[in-house]
Amino acid sequence: MSDHAETTVQQILASERFRRAAETLATEHDRTVDDIIRLTEIEAPSFNENVRARTWHDMAKAHGLDDLEIDAEGNVTGIRRGIGNGPLICVAAHLDTVFPGGTDVKVRREGTKLFAPGVGDDTRSLAVLLAWLRALDAAKIDTRADILFVADVGEEGTGDLRGMRHLFQRGRYKDRISAFITVDSPNMDRIVTGGVGSKRYRVTFKAPGGHSYGAFGVVNPMFAMADAISRLGRVPVPAEPKTTYSASVTGGGTSINSIPNSVWTEFDLRSVSVRELNELEERFLRIVDAAVAAENDIRSTRNGPVSAEITPIGDRPAGHTSESHELVRFAQAAINAKGFETRFESSSTDANIPMSLGIPAIRIGSGGTGAREHSLEEWIDVEPEASLRGMEAGLATLLAVAGVV
């Protein structure tokens, strides 16, 4: 832990203005909870975040952000200006949930617990961004950096980080953001500094097929597929940087007495290292080619050869932010100061995109507790003590990064 980071955070936490901001978080906590419920009850499956985006846009409007808008990809973006000539830092929460349209998203309250799909991942964070804006304004806190507040689309599954890709690679803030914090899910103790990259493929092996007895001897796409899976299973990968693969889901075939026309498997390749992931991907693609060639060599292609149709179904870049980077140290200091243990983790979050571009990025929590994410039994606890401690830790992190005047 650097003295600088600890000192900076301690000064912020001890300041009169931060105390006022924390007070505002406390007095406005019921409003924050109302915001969580309101946003949670607007369904927002990936690729269908627009109603929730519009609602968050209108809620943010009250807080006087500059350039508040919904960008071409569907992200809501708006700037809280610093004192001028500072860098641009970004804090984000994602609008989308894993739950398909039609899922019952009504929030059930039991004491301080809120039950609803998506309530913690990541709807609570959307409300926390608004709470931070109110606290900063009430306390009249000025920052050196401009802070870009973002409610982004496409973090989950097939969304494949499309919101972040737009923000960092195509939109108006492209090449301007110098640090990135995503607030994703409640728990405070995990600081994500590693962005696990993934490449996902569905490979369909096709051939003419035929009767299992009558056409025996012709190529069987099942053998090509099995060979590809077996070869992948023998690929050595480093434990550090952690690199993994899986043959995950499979299907196909006509009937017990038929050589299949078509069988498929879905493959998941991951690494925290861009280089390792690219190497693994190249090796995997060569393996598929080799397995197809081997089957066409071993058995007869008189009715036609086996071929492989390789369809990318996911591509998340890997990345990493050094645990010694100031951004990480500020977060660790602020979260520890507010009484939480911290550990570093690798995961797949919105931070993958900036990490992959060399921009320092982390994931922190939105405060309080919660569990069962990605299940219909998802819940969060909005009990004020731990919730406010977490929100204060996050706000202190943001201010340490942005610099308080």
- Contact positions toward a second copy, by CB under 8 A? 196, 198, 200, 212-213, 216-217, 220, 222-223, 225-230, 233-234, 242, 244-260, 263, 265-266, 268, 270, 295, 298, 313-314
- Residue 216 CB, nearest approach to a second copy (Å): 4
- Residue 214 CB, nearest approach to a second copy (Å): 9
| Residue closer to a second copy, measured from CB, 75 or 265 | 265
- In angstroms, rounded to a whole number, what is the distance separating the alpha carbons of residues 33 and 307? 55
- Residue 401 CB, nearest approach to a second copy (Å): 28
| Residue closer to a second copy, measured from CB, 313 or 404 | 313
Greatest alpha-carbon pair distance for the chain in Å reads 86
Task: Answer whether 8's CB lies under 8 Å from 18's CB.
Answer: no
| Residue closer to a second copy, measured from CB, 11 or 248 | 248
| Residue closer to a second copy, measured from CB, 64 or 312 | 312
Task: Answer whether 394's CB lies under 8 Å from 189's CB.
Answer: no
- Residue 154 CB, nearest approach to a second copy (Å): 17
- Residue 220 CB, nearest approach to a second copy (Å): 6
- Residue 347 CB, nearest approach to a second copy (Å): 9
- In angstroms, rounded to a whole number, what is the distance separating the alpha carbons of residues 63 and 136? 10
| Residue closer to a second copy, measured from CB, 221 or 365 | 221
| Residue closer to a second copy, measured from CB, 9 or 228 | 228
SS3 327: helix
Report the b/e string of 136-147 with b at 16+ CB within 10 A: bebbebbbbbbb
Q: Name residue, tokens 């493959």.
A: 267
Q: Phi and psi at residue 37, in whole multiples of 5°?
A: -65, -45
Q: Which amino acid is at 378?
A: E
Q: What is the full DSSP assignment across 120-179?
A: IIIIHHHHHHHHHHHHHHHTT--BSSEEEEEEES--SGGGTTHHHHHHHHTSTTTTTEEE
Per-residue HEC secondary structure of 9-46 comes to HHHHHHCHHHHHHHHHHHHCHHHHHHHHHHHHCCCCEC
Q: Name residue, tokens 């004020």.
A: 384
Burial class from Cβ neighbours inside 10 Å (0-12, 13-18, 19+) for residue 384 reads middle
Report the b/e string of 311-343 with b at 16+ CB within 10 A: eeebbbbbbbbeeebbbbbbbbbbbbbbebebe
| Residue closer to a second copy, measured from CB, 71 or 227 | 227
| Residue closer to a second copy, measured from CB, 8 or 346 | 346
| Residue closer to a second copy, measured from CB, 87 or 253 | 253
Q: Phi and psi at residue 175, in whole multiples of 5°?
A: 70, 10
- In angstroms, rounded to a whole number, what is the distance separating the alpha carbons of residues 164 and 351? 8
Q: Name residue, tokens 């899976």.
A: 229
- Residue 157 CB, nearest approach to a second copy (Å): 9
| Residue closer to a second copy, measured from CB, 39 or 226 | 226
